[in-house]
Amino acid sequence: MTQLQPRSVIAPSTGLAERFRATRALSEALAAPLSDADATIQSMADASPAKWHLAHTTWFWETFLLREHAADYALFDERWAFIHNSYYETEGERIARFARGMLSRPSLDEVLGYRAHVAAAMEGLLGDPKHAELIALGIAHEQQHQELLLTDIKHALFQNPLGPAMFDAEPIGESERPLAPADDLWHRHPGGIARIGHQEDGFAFDNEGPAHRTLLEPFALAKRLVRNREWEAFIADGGYDTATLWLSDGWGWVKENRVSAPLYWRDDEQFTLAGWQPRDPDAPVTHISYFEADAFASWAGERLPTESEWEATARGQEGEGAAHDPDAGNQLDTASPIQPRGSEGLFGDCWQFTRSGYLPYPRFQPAPGAVGEYNGKFMSGQCVLKGASCATARGHSRASYRNFFYPHQRWQFTGLRLARDL
């Protein structure tokens, strides 16, 4: 159990070189409390070992930048591409995802040596403008894996009956979520034509575009996330036992897996990266699946928003307020206790399920080459989530950002914000 000195992620307005160094440093700070054994275990096929995340993000820099653009660069270990490739078919064969936890070697120290070797070699490319776009992609890629590292090790530590902690606990402070009057709980949107997708300068993933028009009917989006105390009421009212609240696939999932509460709940406690802690009733509920989010919305007499409704609200298109700051809210700044606690705005605490399927936007085309495999080939059977979580590096997200998971998955910091028709 370790409390580390802060290592803040530098703002997106800072130069690429500084952002590269800060991102690499934060990854290593997040892993610093882990032993070699901690960093090696893999608790399920959806997750990966912490040291694999550290090595894979390094393989990304080595493969897509150093190998192609650094003169006289020699691979750190030519055998390692097989074990550190994730899903890039154009980069050749790779170890099966479920078997990553079988890799006792290389050790965590060897992986950290690999990172240092690649980081030093990258210094010669960081100031070259012709590499800027790919470097920005690499930074965003590593930030995604920072979040995965945290959620994957949380799931792994949860398997231990001792309930081990990665960080020291922070006491639950005074509520930051004052209750608003009932008539002030909603962002209202009059409907009409909205422009959706990435529209600003700066980096975005390919799946965020092209920007396009969509027609919205009048709707309202809740100003806050659903809280633990509201989920406790859902449970007490038989929410997990009432088939009519659930989608057919969701009801089958509940019965087959004997689901009766969000992941990491036990009595009035929940498992956190600081071990088992009392559950804050006013904190946002998290670690729920799409199936659970949809069932709760049905129980509450509301619905989930579409991704276009969420984005239009985030951009301030509701006609009654300003755009929401994507860098605000409870997001990842330092290697420290990480837990949803509630904050104003649409960003932070938890990724928020929408009822939109993860599909290509009109006129979408994957990028050429191996990096084109980054997003496009996963546009099937998954759900779009919007916002950012407490484990998302601050500065990583934006209104157009499209996170995506399968409807049964809930090991990420996932929550919900209700919507309604007007």
pLDDT of residue 241: 98
Tens-place pLDDT, residues 262-313? 999 999 999 999 999 999 999 999 999 999 999 999 999 999 999 999 999 9
Residue among 403, 270, 267, 274 nearest 326 (CA): 403
Tens-place pLDDT, residues 238-254? 999 999 999 999 999 99
Dist CA 187 CA 321 (whole Å): 8
Dist CA 50 CA 180 (whole Å): 41
Tens-place pLDDT, residues 160-200? 999 999 998 876 654 444 444 455 799 999 999 999 999 98
Tens-place pLDDT, residues 208-241? 999 999 999 999 999 999 999 999 999 999 999 9
The answer to whether the beta carbons of residues 148 and 53 sit under 8 Å apart is: yes
With pLDDT > 90 as the criterion, what percentage of the chain qualifies?
A: 76
User: Residue 55 corresponds to which amino acid?
Assistant: A
Partner residues linked to 219 by β-bridges = 189, 421
Partner residues linked to 186 by β-bridges = 222
pLDDT of residue 420: 97
Neighbouring CB atoms inside 10 A of 287's CB total 25
Query: Which pLDDT band holds residue 261 (cuts at 50, 70, 90)?
Result: very high
pLDDT of residue 320: 54
User: Residue 112 corresponds to which amino acid?
Assistant: L
Dist CA 266 CA 287 (whole Å): 13
Helix (H) or strand (E) holding 314: helix 307-314
Dist CA 86 CA 49 (whole Å): 13
Query: Which pLDDT band holds residue 52 (cuts at 50, 70, 90)?
Result: very high
SS (H, E, C) 262-310: CCCEECCEEEEECEEEECCCCCECCCCCHHHHHHHHHHCCCECCCHHHH
Which DSSP string do the residues of 86-137 spell out, in sequence order? -S-GGG-----GGGGGG---S-HHHHHHHHHHHHHHHTTTTT-GGGHHHHHH
Q: What is the pTM of this model?
A: 0.91
Peptide bond into 305 cis (omega under 30): no
Dist CA 239 CA 226 (whole Å): 15
